[in-house]
Structure 1
Amino acid sequence: MTTTTPAPARPDKSGRPTRTARLRTPSPRPRRRAHSVDRPRRSKALTALSGLVVLYTLVPLAWLVVSATKTQADLLGSPGLWFSGHFALWDNISQTLSYDHHVFLRWLLNTLLYVVLGAGGATLLAVLAGYGLAKFDFRGKKAVFAVVIGAVAVPATALAVPTFLMFSKMGLTNTPWAVIIPSLVSPFGLYLMWVFAAEAVPTELLEAARVDGSGEVRTFFRIALPLLAPGIVTVLLFTVVATWNNYFLPLIMIKDPNWYPLTLGLNAWNDQAATAGGQPVFNLVITGSLLTIVPLVAAFLLLQRFWQSGLAAGSVKE
């Protein structure tokens, strides 16, 4: 900050005084204080809590990886979080893929079918509906918003029995459609795309495209869709995980083992030990569980940057 002081007027050659000149004298600058923003404070309690969360997340995964390297006999005769003398991971994988006439591969293909049609269709419907609700005005929009919020609050298990009765009347139980069709509805994905589209797609940009003569379909695919890519990936990840790990819906809808997803198939292997004359195959159940989570981990690692940007969209106001 500077202060100005008037200087004395000096006469020119004609004897008339000139304009008053202003001299700038620098004022002392205030000392800068070291703010906590430059160096964030560390909380020991928060660090300890984060460490507990990391342990809670990684210890089951570590147990799964270690247990997948053991034989059926070593599972009960060795420490749970340490390896046994015989490394049997590759043998377990080979037995898991070939056990009971390669039924694990059949369950894997069924799960992929449910994910591609169910999760893919749910993501497509959520994108279209979320964009339409965010960028178009119509009567009853508030009522639709209330219905979507209410659907998010209702747990899926509460709708399982009515869904089963409805599909039973239509004769669709014990078929793949009994799992695919309910998976197409994702209220949370719809709400997420609604909120994301409202912030990510500027209304002025859409109006400029309409003024230039672009139709609604072309505007959506050429302008809005690239802007919605982070949100689409985020919704896709949520729906894929929900469909891949879906257990209760296939349990009540499907009775034919040939249409089991991986969740029901591994549970059937696990129940063999409790049946009369059944052979326990806990090593195959654990190895199959490890193989089941590999595609999910790969999907999160490959789409991580899109997922993080989608979650952070709208958090910074320009």
Structure 2
Amino acid sequence: MTGAAEKFRVLVTGANGQLGREIALWATAEAEGLDIRGYGRDELDITDLSQCRAVITAFAPHAVIHCAAYTAVDQAEADPDSAFVVNATGTRNIALAAREAGAKLAYVSTDYVFDGSSAVPYNEYDRPNPRTVYGKSKLAGEELVRTLHDRHFVVRTSWVYGAYGANFVKTMIKVGAERGAVKVVHDQIGSPTCTFDLAAMLLELVRTDAYGVYHASNSGTCSWYEFAVAIFEESGMQVSTEPCTTEEFPRPAPRPAFSVLDHSAIRTNGLTPIRHWREALRDYLAKQQE
């Protein structure tokens, strides 16, 4: 238990990435009684176990939110060792160091642990079946977390975008402005997830003892094409948007055709529901234009 005046300390790995930075720069941390410290790769190389132990022990966090990851989905197909050394070995190191320091651990995982062949939203206990090196490496990380740390949260998310780093929303706005026309796949269905909402969910979750697997995305579903149309509508941009098939845009790593995540664990554990993706997008774009 933390004392009345003691802040709840949260260590964030991957603090230069989209999600990690969102959490590390959490504007209301002070008001929420949080002491959040983010570490980028230069300050914390997760592939170095001794460094993980030293950094985590020095800060003595109550919880670690592990956002650092190898996320180059297509590149991973040609370089699986790099994906596994970060997503599996690096996660093992963080799990060991967090457990030894007495800190809870939240591991951010992905919809890519599923094969995308479902016709209904995936719940937390559906059997994973990754089709890509990236998905396999993230699932390996999940299994190491479960094996090595008894107080863990595995949080799978999808289609992430935010204020920091490159993402689909920024790409659409840039390409739409430059070309006035885009072609976007209409046969991949999922749920866009704003890093602000995902960060809020993680910061709520790590202050509980409701350990287990969670699916966390903004609610509602759409195709990438429908997402692009919404981005242009909410931005007030006139961009010709044409739907196409996945086959027209072949990539080294197959994308899940259906990666909608059911929020069963959020509901059954009484956590705050995550708002609709369209509302989150509207807020995100309004903040970007401030």
Shorter-chain TM-score: what band? Answer: under 0.3
| TM-score, L = length of structure 2 | 0.22
| TM-score, L = length of structure 1 | 0.21
